[in-house]
Homo-oligomer: A and B are copies of this chain.
């Protein structure tokens, strides 16, 4: 079953995504990428430590009365999505902990078969300003087929090449959308939640073929359309906010097919493996209670459970405490502190090397 010849592509449909999808024939698109409202349920204003106000998502389109009404909305658009998706097509949905569990459950309930959950690890997330939780540094994408036996597209080799000849993993490190890529209108961001093109690039490259039809029911400023055009895929966007539509059409008009040099920019920056001192404590390379000392054995510091050191009443990280004790502005704790090993003093940096050897590919 393939009705993609029956529909017009590379165009934007104005209106509500459920109503617009309802007008399309069964089994007419190869992939659906959806970035639905997250239903963030934010409270009052939030201020950064220096006093500025965080420009939060407070749009009406993100507001739902109850979890139940969000679920009904999710089921309704997923049902239409499932109908217009070809039997061997796949769907991608992105979300955060606010909504992704509802979405994943609805996907399974509607009969989709989850192939992977993918973690977009943000290299530059917004911090947690009040120190109340872990920094929310990722978003989750779900990739699903129509059913267990569907023969979906997965360009395994392309992904492996993109990842320096290692299998592409389920966690992707990518920066958030900022700088020149971030679309503006009258000097302010055109859309509060614009996704980076690199994210769509990887999704489309992995799971579609050239000429495939990609539909995005929550088109926004058209990242999906722009990347589809650049990768030689056909696209259909659905959006109801006129402000976003204008920006999206202009953007896609200007998008150029990718050449080789542009492709390399999209590739993974292979980041330096960083190891925190605390990781050595957590993983048992160094036990809490161990005594560290400097080469001249002037100070004896006890390693504590959280990776801090204590010498008498002075406490701090390996770097801070080293600096404090020496009266220096800074100190490299990795080379300053030593532990007894094999009858002699060894810098703790050697433990870090050991850890890296054992745990990095």
Contacts and interface: CB of A to CB of B under 8 A. Distances in A.
B134 A118 contact: yes
Contact of A105 (B105, B162, B265, B288): B105
B101 A105 contact: yes
A339 interface: no
A135 interface: yes
A351 to B, nearest CB: 15
Nearest to A129: B167
A134 B116 contact: yes
A330 B44 CA distance: 15
Interface string A72-108: 0000000000000000000000001110111111011
A67 interface: yes
A261 B121 CA distance: 31
Determine how many copies of this chain the complex contains.
Answer: 2
Given A118-B134, A266-B308, A174 B303 contact: no
Given A108-B67, A124-B359, A198-B282, A306 B161 contact: yes
Contacts of A329: 45, 47, 51, 53
A97 B116 contact: yes
A235 interface: no
Interface stretch (A11-19, A151-159, A212-220, A246-254): A151-159
Interface stretch (A28-36, A137-145, A187-195, A342-350): A137-145
A7 interface: no
A288 B263 contact: yes
Contacts of A118: 134
